[in-house]
Amino acid sequence: MTLDLVIRNKCFGGWQQQWDHYSDVLNCTMRFAVFLPPQVEEGDPVPVLYWLSGLTCTDENFMQKSGAQRIAAELGMAIVAPDTSPRGADVPDDPNQDYDLGLGAGFYVNATEPPWNQHYQMYDYIADELPSLIESQFPVTQQRAIAGHSMGGHGALVIALRNPQRYSSVSAFSPISHPSDCPWGQKAFAHYLGPDDGINWQQYDACELLALSTPHLPVLIDQGTADQFLSEQLKPGALLKAAEQAGYPISLRMQPDYDHSYYFIASFIEEHLRFHARWFDH
């Protein structure tokens, strides 16, 4: 597979990079960002945290706003941030140009409905194709963790719960916890997956997956109490209830006065990276 370097910048002794590649899964050219800590220049492969961003974001938002590289450099952890949807002139977008469907809003599912199914296979891209590429082309180990924000928090939880053998831990900021029961998720799922048949939607809903997921992974979730999307879209209470009913231990922390922004992420990202680093050692 051909990788094309877009840009690289020295950062906390390591390298912040952007790469383009053609994705067979998504049938288009994709871009991802990667931070390689200074340990790789000493010949030491490092574990990887995959970060999934939210609606309207690209690979750049987290890397430019979170400040995660400083701690990742200390911990010897690579960070990979993919884009949030397929891109390109041939990739369908929402005809109404709404931000919550189409480009920038892949929802980390494998679409089954036309025209989305030709490109919108983000679940397979994140779970399979991208890790295979990263592990074949970069000095990393097969130790993986996954995290995300909002739509990306939904994606991180779903992918980890469905593939617990591939990840040592999972964390999320303000995840869309119950997409089958919120406007963002219902709109996306109806377009990408078709009508709710009791199977297609549930396989991408963390609240539904908790009861089916074994073994249990370490889970850390931070949610701001001043988040404008808290009650209608995110529904952390539904996730906590589902976890309690399933006997699945999760740590859900409600953070007073924090909202949905990257200021929230920047405030707690160090704790999330240290959380994942602890479980890399197991």
Greatest Cα pair distance, the chain, in angstroms, is 52
Q: Which of 119, 178, 260, 272 is catalytic?
A: 260
For the question of residue 227 being annotated catalytic, the response is yes
Bridge partners of 65, per DSSP, are none
Q: Which of 83, 205, 222, 227 is catalytic?
A: 227
Could you give phi then psi for residue 160, rounded to 5 degrees? -70, -45
Cβ atoms of 173 and 153 closer than 8 Å:
yes
Q: Which of 53, 66, 85, 150 is catalytic?
A: 150
Which residues are identified as catalytic?
150, 227, 260
